[in-house]
Amino acid sequence: MKRQSAIPLAVLGLAAALALPACSGSGQPGPQHTSAGYDAALNAVVNPSTHRGGTIIFDNSAAPDSTDPGNTYYAFTWNTVRLYGRTLVTYKSAPGAAGLQLAPDLATSLGQVSDHGLAWTYHLKPGIKFEDGTPVTSQDVKYAVERSYAKDVLPGGPSYFQLLLNDPAYPGPYKDKTPGKMGLTSITTPDTATIVFHLQRPFADFDYVAALPQTVPVPPSKDTGVNYQRHPVSTGPYMFASYQLNKQSTLVKTRTGTRPPTPTATSSPP
């Protein structure tokens, strides 16, 4: 997986940016800070602060390939997805070597391996909700992965699940005729909090695959295919307030209480 090393490095910059006071909407002066050297945030938190509230602006050099977690392959977009989408597994939000380490996110732990390395099981943490307060279930995670098979609709994401799981010929949910569009047999959901991936052959690094944005839950009833990028349903600290395609997105704090309160984030290409 050639992009693994790019993920935590970009996350470090994001974590450092979130630590800055940025522009405060409270009218109170923020803490003093010093200028940082080139790539300083790769190995340390730059200008740490306990200040809360305000607005953070990310001025990107290019538009994202897609804000749909299931249809993106840009490393910087994968990091931005962390603002509004939670994956089964993630990378620690920490500078330096610690940011290279995997940690559970939606899941209670890293994957549990069985059946001679052919089955990977994850259990969801309780209380995780979508932005509208609807509980996240294992079926929502399965559906999100199923979308990655629909390359005729969502061609931009990686194909690791198709390469590793048992039924690579699955056509994706948009052509799935089974009840609930849950016809991907290589993923089973014994209950609403358990998801099991069945592999063609053992793959010891499957936790890295579970960290892909394609495991960000998607409620089937809210999926709009290629247009889902206009408002991905949030499971993270932010949710979309508005999005001008390829121009600007404004995210605000979610109200479901699944993560600590965080400032407003605005992102736009120059």
Q: Could you read off the pLDDT of 28-57 as tens digits, one per residue?
A: 555 555 677 888 888 888 888 888 888 888
Q: What is the pLDDT of residue 32?
A: 58
Q: Which stretches in the chain have pLDDT values below 70?
A: 1-34, 256-270
Q: How many domains does the chain have?
A: 1
**CA neighbor of 237 nearest in space, from 219, 250, 256, 220:** 256
Q: What is the pLDDT of residue 87?
A: 98
Q: What is the pLDDT of residue 59?
A: 86
Q: What is the pLDDT of residue 56?
A: 87
Torsion sign across C-alpha atoms 129, 232, 210, 161: positive
Q: What is the pLDDT of residue 131?
A: 97
107 is a domain residue: yes
1 is a domain residue: no
175 is a domain residue: yes
83 is a domain residue: yes
39 is a domain residue: yes
Buried b (16+ CB within 10 A) or exposed e, 174-200: eebeeeebbbbebbbbeeebebbbbbe
What predicted TM-score, i.e. pTM, was given to this entire model? 0.82
194 is a domain residue: yes
